[in-house]
Each structure stands twice: as structure tokens, then as C-alpha cells.
Amino acid sequence: MQVRRRTLAKLLLVVFVGNLVVMGAGAWYSYQQAPPIPQEFVGPDGETVVTDDQIQEGKATFQSDALMNHGSILGNGAYFGSDYTADALDRKVQYMRSYYAQERYGSGYDALTGAERAAVDSLVEEDLASTDTTAPVEYSAAEVYAHRQVRTDYVERYHEGSREHGLPAGTIESADDARRFADFALWTAWFSHTERPGSDHTYTNDWPYAPIAGNEPTAGTMTWSVIAMVLLVAGAGIGVWLYRSVELPEPETHGVSIPHPDDIDLLPSQRAATRFIPIGAGLFLCQVLLGGLLAHYYIERDGFFGIGELLGVDVLGLLPFALAKTYHIDLGVLWIATLWLAAGLFLPPLLTGTEPSNQKRYVHALIGALLVVVGGGFAGIWLGANGYIDGELWWIIGNEGLEYLEVGKLWQFGLLAGFVFWAALVARGFKPLLDREEPYGLAHMILYAGGSIALLFSAGLFYTPETNIVVTEFWRWWVVHMWVEGAFEFFIVAIVGITLVSMNLLRRRSAEKAVMFQALFVMGSGVIGVSHHYWWIGQPDVWLPFGSVFSTLELIPLVLILFEAINEYRTLATAGESFPYSLPFAFIIASGAWNFVGAGVLGFFINLPIINYYEHGTYLTVGHAHAAMFGAFGFLALGMVTYMLRIAVDPGQWNPRRLKWSFWLWNAGLAVMVFGSVLPVGFLQLETAFTAGYDAARSLAFYNRDLIQLLFWARLPGDTMLIAGTVIFAYDMVKQRFALRDTSVPASIPGSSVISRRVLPEDD
């Protein structure tokens, strides 16, 4: 069946408005249903144990000291340390057991008989089954004792230091701040075992799994898992049917005049755009080196192959896990974004054959702004995490301390301004097309995709350190997930479409139809699909059905992208040796394949509600994240760089040999890392969560098991290949950047671009 572009555009608009209505209403409802922060918790005698102000101070400590990149809260964050919610809940239970064992039987809990333990456990469960959420909340004597003991534990670990946990002394600067952090963690544990008014489960849908605290999977978790499995089969079938039914022309090399790079003029703004490339390569290299360090920290938590001890350098104190993880995550987003910025500025002249006046100057200005924001943001992270920024400024110019949104608000505004500036430059470059095409044209699609990245990033500006952590996480996931499952996927299909047009492999009309068709399903499922992140963090359980359904439907566009990758591979295989863009094409194909594996296969598995209940915040998520982020978005960025250089480098000096080495090293390294190490650890973690509870799966004892340590070592070959590929790539980017050909003067070449000859009347 044929689908008209205008029809697809109308459907896309309907889906966009529908997403806004659902998520807007969800935001309002989530604010109303967020777990309360009681004004105070008191003991049986009325003595105040903790106040709401102390809990809020603990949240500020959690953020300012970058603790979300050492462990996790409510399952969100880093997996090196414990999950603070599960850890606080487990410690609370253990100390309450000790209290009742001593009070009732004058003995330690472990020395009790089976019947006596059962009696103690019954008392603990009865205390924890409270439904009281009004202020003041009254603790039992056992809870008061447990709360104070957990405070002492956190002072010992996070202030005094615990090198076996990878925590240098002074991770939290003062003992009082460590106590406040314990108060914050215990508050999240409190609402994880306290029933939401009017329901039969806790605020977190009975997460984390801790039977002694009464936390076990709810009926809804089981039911929607079954429904999701049914939808999986239906979604896969719908994806195949749509691909077979809708007429979307595929790339074709036979009988097509493919523009050779030597025949395409290089304009000044395009040459300027290539300056982003060595910057992105440098950021990429730093990221993979830090990734290797982070992987090794799981084996040797207070050093680096003994080198620090040999040289008398405290590696852990110099670069603790939390700081290294912060930089690793931010660099991963930044190098991909940097290369995408370059591609967005390089492509317009290929379709228009012209460039606006002063475009080169503005591109250089954007590069300067990027360097200022990145340098300032990274300096602020280091200063903030090390306690050099006091008062209210720590979250403004320092370290805001939330995963993927670590940089202070000032630098976030700078990044947002940079996105807007970039979009304006891309619009200037595409103006000849924007003036003549429909609002759903290809140039418009690129602007919509880029603009949606900036729009969603602004959600990270809707909270402060005083905001309830559950509400904070609501908005943070708008940025993190909607970027990845919505805006980034939209950008992928748009950028691939425009690249195929610039290669003369697709007509512009066909590319527009394909982009809108896939964007329709990407935006239709991925935006509301963000709600699978809301299941266990204290959000209302209305998100359970939304998350289950729409997360499963995300498979449909990924099936379409996989088919596209297969057809692109067939095109490449039949193109012959004379095809000049085989290497960029290979990166695009790899991006589609890894997108299906990482986001599709692994993403669906970990987002099945009953699996997610146990695996949330484990190494299975690590495997999904690396395969999806680097495999899908990273490979696309690298493919665009290869395409840019193929056009920009002097024909006599173009040599793809090093890039081919990098391509295969990256693919092999990622496969070895994900399938040979990360996923096996994740499955063993899942088994431990099933049998011993979630806290045990995140414990140091689990990571120190001999088999787990062996699997961590098994990651070394994959990491080495990834690092080697990136070193080769960074060297090649610097070398190729100094081998660019001369530019042409735009005024002297009106209409001479190959692609400007493609924009024929019948193609509009």
C-alpha cells in the first residue's frame, strides 16, 4: 500500500500532540502522588529522630558529592557501590532484628532458634507495614535504634572511608553531612516499605525485593509482564507487516549516478565544520580510557594494577570511581553530540550547493562556545565534587550530581544555548530548501529532530536540589530516556535519510516518506515509553501499564530500522568496488544492527516488568546501555565523520585503512565486552536477586565472588580492542584533518553542487 507524505505528516502531528497531552497530564498527576517528606519522624517518647530539612540536606549531599555515580538511589545511578535505598532498607531490617532479639531473648539474632527468629521477623514486618504518612510519623523503638545505627554506618563508610568499597576518606566531607545522607537514604527506604494511601502496595510498587520487609512483586507487575509478552509477538509481527506492506523505496546503486567525492565542491563552512572532528575524537579517547579504568575498579577497588602503590600515588584519592564515572558518562554524550553537530553543519551545502554569508565565522564561534562550556562544566564538576564550591553555587556552577546531568545549571544553560545556535546555523544552511519544500520536507525533519534534542534537554531545568527526588527523577528521565528513545532515534533516521539523498541513492521525496514513517513509530512509542523508568521510584502505578505497553511497542521502529540495515547491506554488497562511500555505509549498517540488538533485544528483555523488578540497576542494564548508546548512536556519529572526511580530504591523500581497522576493532571489542563479560555478570546478578534479594545482588560480596571476578577479567580483551580502535581513530582524525583539500568560493560555483542537480521539480 502507498502512504502519502502529507498523511504521514498529519499522523506525526497527532502523535506529537498526543504525547504532550499524556506526558503533561502525567507530570501533573506525578507531582500530586509523589511520596511525602514528613515534617518529622519521632520515637515512641515523642523525641525527634529526623526532620524534613535534614532529609533535604541529605539529598543535597547526595548530589554535591557525586554519590549517584558511585552507587544508585531507587535503582538509578552507578552500579559500583550499593543501591542506597536497598542498602538502607536491608540495614534497617537487620538492626531491627538485632534490637528485638536482644530485647525479647537477650541474644543476637543469629543465635536464636527458628521459632524465635520467626517471632522477631513478625515484629519487624509489623513495624514496617505502617501506612502512616502524616506528620509526625511515629517510629517504633526498634526503628529509632536502626535509624541511628545506619547513620553510624554511613559515617564510617562515606566520611571515614572504605577502600574495599572504593571510597576514599572524606568522600563526604563531614560526619554530620554523612548522617544527613543516611537520613535521605532511610527516607527512600521508608517509602519503599510504606503503603501508598488507598492501595495495597508501597509507593515503589514493593521494590526493592526484600521479603522480610514485605516487598515482593505485585500482581500488576506479573499481569503486565504477561501482556507485554503478548504485545512483543504482536509488535514484531506488526513491524514485519508494515515493512512488507508500505512502499518505501530502498537505496539502489544500479543505474544511479553516484557523485564521486572528487566532483563535490568543499565550501568554507564545511571545512570549518571538520574542526569539530578532532575535538570529538579527543573526547572519545578520554571516555574509553576512563571506561577501562572504571572496569578495572571492579577488580582492584583502591588502585590500578599496583602502579599507584609502586609510584606512591593514591589513584583512588586522585580519581575516585564517582568522579571518573561522571566524566565517562558526560564524555560519552559529548563526543557523540560534537560529531552530530559537525554533520548537521556539513550536510546543508551538499543539498543546496551554497552557503550563507559568514557561515564559516559562525561555525568557528560555535566551536569556541563548545570548548568554553565543556571546559567550564568539567572544571565545575571537579571543584564541586571536591568541596571547593560552597553555598548555593555548588549546583549552579559546580556539580549538580545527577547521572547524565552532572554539570551545573549554568553550563546546562550554555549547552542549551549552543543547541539553539546550532539549529539556527543549520536553518541558515538549509534555507534554499526550507523556502521551497513543505513543512514535512527533509530539511525541516533535520531541524525538528535537532530541535527536539534541545527541547527535551530543557526538562533538566525544571528542578532544584530542594525538589523531591521522585519529582527530580521524573524530569531527569525526560531528558535521558526521551533523548535516547525519541529525539536521538528521530535524528538517526533523519540523518541517514539525508545522507542517502546526498549520495544519490534515494530521491528526496522517498527519503522524506521513509523518515516520517519511521519517526511516527519512534515518537509514538518512545516518548510515553519513558514511563518504564517510573515503576519503582515512587511514581504512581498508573505508569505500569503505560510503560509496559509503549516500551514493548518500541520494538516496531527497531524492526523497521533492522530491515533498513539489511537492505543497506545488500545495496553495499552489490555496489562494486567503485562505490566511494562503502566505509560510511558500513558504519550506518552497524548502527542499525547494534540499535536492534542493544535497544531492541536487550532493551525489551530488561524492560519486561517482572525482569526489571529484579534486575533494575544491575549489569544487564550496563550491557543494554553500551550496546545501544555506542553501538547505535556512536557508530552513526562515526559513520558521518567518515562520510565528511571522504568528501573533504584531498583525493590523493585519502586512506581508509586506519578507519577500517578502527571499525572492526570497535565492533569486535563491543561484542566481546557485552556478550563475554557484562551480560554473564548481569545474569548471575539476576539469579542472586531472585534467590537472596536485591541488596545481595548489589553487594560487595557478590562482586568479590571468584566467578564474577573472572568475568570482569574477561572484559579486558574487549576493552583493549575498543581502546586500540579509538587510539587509531584519534590519530587518523588529526592526520586527515591536515590533509583537507582547498575550498571553493561559494559565489563562483552557483548550482555546481552535484546534489543541487538532484533537486529536480519532479522530486518536490
Chain segment 346-372, per-residue pLDDT in tens: 989 888 888 899 999 999 999 999 999
What are the contacts of 452-458 at 24+ separation with CB within 8 A? 452/486, 452/487, 452/490, 452/491, 453/419, 453/483, 453/487, 453/488, 453/491, 454/416, 454/419, 454/420, 454/423, 455/487, 456/482, 456/483, 456/486, 456/487, 457/412, 457/415, 457/416, 457/419, 457/483, 458/416
What are the contacts of 456-464 at 24+ separation with CB within 8 A? 456/482, 456/483, 456/486, 456/487, 457/412, 457/415, 457/416, 457/419, 457/483, 458/416, 460/405, 460/412, 461/409, 461/412, 461/413, 461/416, 464/395
pLDDT at position 685 is 97
Q: Kindly provide the b/e burial profile for residues 602-611, where b requires at least 16 CB atoms within 10 angstroms of the residue's own CB.
A: bbbbbbbbbb
- CA–CA dist 236, 559 (Å, integer): 7
Query: Is a pLDDT exceeding 90 seen at residue 491?
Result: no
Give the residue among 390, 420, 403, 255 at the shortest CA–CA distance from 327. Answer: 403
Give the residue among 144, 156, 228 at the shortest CA–CA distance from 186. Answer: 144
Q: Which of 233-237, 240-244, 376-380, 584-588 has the highest mean pLDDT?
A: 376-380
- CA–CA dist 444, 426 (Å, integer): 10
Residue 248: band (very low, low, confident or very high) from pLDDT cuts 50, 70, 90: low
- CA–CA dist 89, 96 (Å, integer): 11
Q: Where are the beta strands (DSSP E) in 382-534?
A: 399-402, 405-407
Q: Which three cell numbers stand for residue 471?
A: 519529582
Residue 299: band (very low, low, confident or very high) from pLDDT cuts 50, 70, 90: very high
Q: Which three cell numbers stand for residue 659?
A: 578507519
- The answer to which of 63-72, 334-343, 658-667, 742-751 has the lowest mean pLDDT is 742-751
The answer to whether 722 and 291 are in contact (CB under 8 A) is: yes
- CA–CA dist 331, 442 (Å, integer): 30
- The answer to which of 152-161, 587-596, 698-707 has the lowest mean pLDDT is 587-596
The C-alpha angle with vertex 32 and arms to 27 and 36, in degrees rounded to 5, equals: 125
CA-CA distances (angstroms) from residue 96 to 42, 51, 91, 146, 757?
16, 21, 8, 6, 77
Q: Which three cell numbers stand for residue 283?
A: 573526547
Q: Quote the percentage of the chain above a pLDDT of 70.
A: 92
- Name the residue with cell 566481546: 672
- pLDDT tens-digit profile of 221-240? 999 999 988 888 787 787 67
- Average of per-residue pLDDT across 285-294: 95
Residue 246: band (very low, low, confident or very high) from pLDDT cuts 50, 70, 90: low
Mean confidence (pLDDT) of the chain: 87
- Name the residue with cell 578532532: 278
DSSP code, position 202: B
Q: Which amino acid is at 524?
A: G
As beta bridge partners, residue 50 has: 41
pLDDT at position 12 is 81
Q: Phi and psi dihedrals of 50, rounded to 5?
A: -155, 150
**3-state secondary structure (DSSP) of residue 421:** helix
Pick left, alpha or beta for residue 311 (phi over 0 → left; psi -120 to 50 → alpha; otherwise beta): alpha
- CA–CA dist 297, 680 (Å, integer): 18
Q: Kindly provide the b/e burial profile for residues 634-646, where b requires at least 16 CB atoms within 10 angstroms of the residue's own CB.
A: bbbbbbbbbbbbb
The answer to whether 109 and 98 are in contact (CB under 8 A) is: yes
Q: Which three cell numbers stand for residue 145?
A: 535504634
- pLDDT tens-digit profile of 721-738? 999 999 999 999 999 888
Q: Find the helix or strand (DSSP H, E) in which 49 lies.
A: strand 48-51
Q: Which three cell numbers stand for residue 759?
A: 533537486
Q: What is the DSSP string of 714-736?
A: TTHHHHHHHHHHHHHHHHHHHHH
Query: Is a pLDDT exceeding 70 seen at residue 680?
Result: yes
Query: Is a pLDDT exceeding 80 seen at residue 3?
Result: no
Give the residue among 617, 612, 631, 509 at the shortest CA–CA distance from 562. Answer: 631
- Average of per-residue pLDDT across 690-709: 96
The answer to whether 267 and 743 are in contact (CB under 8 A) is: yes
Residue 454: band (very low, low, confident or very high) from pLDDT cuts 50, 70, 90: confident
- CA–CA dist 310, 317 (Å, integer): 15
Longest Cα separation, the chain: 95
Give the residue among 270, 399, 216, 386 at the shortest CA–CA distance from 318. Answer: 386
- pLDDT tens-digit profile of 192-221? 999 998 888 999 999 999 998 989 999 999
Q: Which three cell numbers stand for residue 12?
A: 506525526
- Average of per-residue pLDDT across 666-695: 96
- pLDDT tens-digit profile of 593-650? 898 888 888 988 998 999 999 999 999 999 999 998 898 889 989 999 999 999 999 9
The answer to whether 209 and 225 are in contact (CB under 8 A) is: no
- pLDDT tens-digit profile of 551-564? 888 777 777 777 77
Residue 247: band (very low, low, confident or very high) from pLDDT cuts 50, 70, 90: low
- CA–CA dist 69, 80 (Å, integer): 8
pLDDT at position 761 is 37
Computed on alpha carbons and rounded to an integer, the radius of gyration of the chain in Å comes to 27
Query: Is a pLDDT exceeding 50 seen at residue 753?
Result: no
Q: Phi and psi dihedrals of 73, rounded to 5?
A: -125, 130
- pLDDT tens-digit profile of 28-59? 998 999 999 999 999 999 899 999 999 999 99
**3-state secondary structure (DSSP) of residue 137:** strand
**3-state secondary structure (DSSP) of residue 184:** helix
The answer to whether 494 and 449 are in contact (CB under 8 A) is: yes
Q: Which three cell numbers stand for residue 605?
A: 528483555
Task: Count CB-CB contacts under 10 A for residue 680.
Answer: 19
pLDDT at position 737 is 85
Query: Is a pLDDT exceeding 60 seen at residue 755?
Result: no
- pLDDT tens-digit profile of 402-446? 998 899 999 999 988 988 899 899 999 988 888 888 887 878 888
pLDDT at position 754 is 39
Residue 757: band (very low, low, confident or very high) from pLDDT cuts 50, 70, 90: very low
Residue 499: band (very low, low, confident or very high) from pLDDT cuts 50, 70, 90: confident
Q: Which three cell numbers stand for residue 127?
A: 513495624
Q: Which residue has the higher pLDDT, 388 or 555?
A: 388
